[in-house]
């Protein structure tokens, strides 16, 4: 009987070869699937810009990866721009529409990169209180009103940051000193609006956000609006201040709440809505004088309008809250539960279409635009 001394060795070699070929094939399939998956992110912003940032958590050389796919994106720039164009409520002339769409190769080539190249990720937040004069010297690139545009490319996003404000100057200074460098690194075409009510009037955060939105649009054709509490400081510049297809809750993880959501439907703190979203939901309710309820009311409006809530990844959407005294008991909105109960019935008649206010001052300061207004609380609550 013939015995093959080398048969075992041959069999081992064959098994080894099969394993190697299988691994090569598996790697090829993974790469193919990854390419297809991320290309879909680039073509369709319905996933939100924050998800493109999230990819960076799983792909260390994400910048190189996106560069390789840049040609794919450029072929779809004109299509995406026309599909995502938000038209005003009144008919626009053709000139206004065309200027919002990149029309030629030069325009496309001059667009800022999909992934801003100078993002650093996790940030050490500044706590020192700089004077406005010191900030003006620190950020000489800012235009009047806290305006900024990237100097070497055309921004993909026109963003207004709306900050409802009352008597917290130190917090405002800290916020501005932290926020401006983040927004500049994100290559945004932006401005910061600080909206304040003339006293004596009970503070109304929601109406100030409606007013900030309205006044910002008088200055520029902003398409994205970030509604931002003055006491929240971003801890990661990869939490992009842009607007995806659906309204986005940005302040997902706050240190005060141990970086966890207090409840699932929360929409307060920092949130992002497009001009189209604001028109569709009729803005915020104007009736929430005092603390509490206005964000839950907006959440109801979002649901009624058929929109869905989106959130940035918790690893990116981290914020530090500046410590401050608690609101007094008489500042809490005692009517908030009654207002919330009837929120669905009021949504179509209480909001942007019923907004009434008087601008006392509007000043374009070096680091922000100040909008100082007077509202009639009794008249608003009766309407």
Does the active-site annotation cover 370? no
- Residue 44 is among the residues annotated as catalytic for this protein: no
Q: Please tell me which residue in 196, 237, 294, 296 is annotated as part of the active site.
A: 294
Q: Are strands 318-321 and 253-254 parallel, antiparallel or unpaired?
A: parallel
* 158, 291, 297, 318: the active-site residue: 291
**From 184, 237, 295, 296, active-site residue:** 295
CA distance 255 to 201: 31
Catalytic residue list contains 255: no
Which residues on neighbouring strands pair with residue 158, listed in sequence order? Answer: 189
- Tell me how crowded residue 108 is: count the other CB atoms within 10 A of its CB: 16
Catalytic residue among 189, 229, 237, 297: 229
Is residue 229 annotated as part of the catalytic site, yes or no? yes
Residue 209 bears catalytic tag: no
Is 298 an annotated catalytic residue? Answer: no
Choose the catalytic residue: 79, 133, 324, 327. Answer: 324
Q: Out of 189, 215, 231, 297, pick the active-site residue.
A: 231
Active-site pick, 61, 90, 94, 326? 326
The 3-class SS string of the chain reads CCCCCCHHHHHHHHHHHHHHHHHHHHHHHHHHHHHHHHHHHHHCHHHCHHHHHHHHHHCCCHHHHHHHCHHHHHHHHHHHHHHHCCCCCCCCCHHHHHCCCCCCHHHHHCECCCCCCCCCCECCCCCCCCCHHHHHHHCCCCECCCEECCCCCECCCEEEEEEEECCCHHHHHHHHHHHHHHHHHCCCEEEEEEEEECCCCCCCHHHHHHHHHHHHHHHCCCCEEEEECCCEEECECCCCCCCCCCCEECCCEEHHHCCCCCCCCCCCCEEEEEHHHHHHHCCCCCCCCCECCHHHHHHHHHHHCCCCCEECCCCCCEEEECCCCCCCHHHECCCHHHHHHCHHHHCCCCCHHHCCCEEEEEEECCCCEEEEEECCHHHHHHC
* 295 given a catalytic annotation: yes
Respond yes or no: is residue 324 known to be catalytic. yes
Could you give the residue numbers annotated as active site?
A: 229, 231, 291, 294-295, 321, 324, 326
């Amino acid at each position: 009987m013939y015995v093959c001394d080398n048969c075992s060795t041959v069999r081992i070699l064959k098994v080894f070869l099969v394993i190697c070929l299988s691994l090569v094939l598996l790697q090829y399939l993974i790469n193919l699937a990854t390419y297809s998956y991320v290309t879909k992110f680039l073509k369709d912003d319905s996933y939100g810009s924050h998800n493109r940032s999230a990819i960076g958590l799983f792909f260390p050389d994400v910048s190189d990866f996106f560069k390789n796919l840049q040609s794919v994106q450029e072929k779809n720039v004109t299509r995406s721009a026309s599909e995502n164009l938000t038209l005003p409520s009144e008919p626009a002339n053709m000139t206004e529409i065309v200027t919002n769409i990149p029309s030629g190769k030069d325009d496309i080539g001059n667009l800022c990169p999909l992934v801003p190249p100078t993002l650093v990720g996790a940030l050490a937040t500044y706590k020192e209180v700089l004077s406005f004069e010191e900030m003006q010297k620190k950020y000489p690139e800012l235009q009047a009103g806290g305006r900024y545009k990237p100097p070497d490319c055309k921004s993909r996003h026109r963003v207004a940051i709306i900050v409802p404000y009352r008597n917290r100057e130190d917090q405002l200074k800290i916020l501005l000193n932290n926020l401006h460098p983040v927004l500049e690194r994100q290559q945004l075409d932006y401005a910061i609006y600080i909206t304040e009510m003339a006293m004596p009037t009970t503070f109304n955060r929601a109406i100030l956000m409606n007013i900030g939105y309205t006044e910002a649009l008088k200055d520029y054709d902003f398409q994205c609006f970030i509604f931002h509490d003055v006491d929240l400081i971003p801890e990661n510049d990869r939490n992009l201040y842009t607007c995806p297809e659906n309204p986005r809750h940005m302040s997902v993880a706050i240190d005060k709440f141990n970086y966890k959501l207090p409840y699932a439907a929360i929409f307060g703190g920092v949130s992002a809505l497009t001009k189209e979203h604001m028109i569709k939901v009729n803005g915020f309710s104007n009736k929430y004088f005092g603390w509490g309820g206005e964000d839950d009311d907006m959440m109801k409006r979002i649901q009624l309008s058929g929109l869905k809530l989106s959130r940035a990844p918790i690893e990116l959407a981290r914020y530090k809250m500046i410590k401050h005294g608690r609101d007094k008991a008489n500042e809490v909105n005692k009517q908030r539960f009654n207002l919330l109960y009837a929120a669905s019935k009021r949504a179509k008649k209480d909001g942007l279409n019923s907004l009434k206010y008087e601008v006392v001052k509007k000043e374009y300061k070096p680091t922000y635009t100040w909008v100082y207004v007077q509202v009639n609380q009794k008249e608003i609550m009766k309407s």
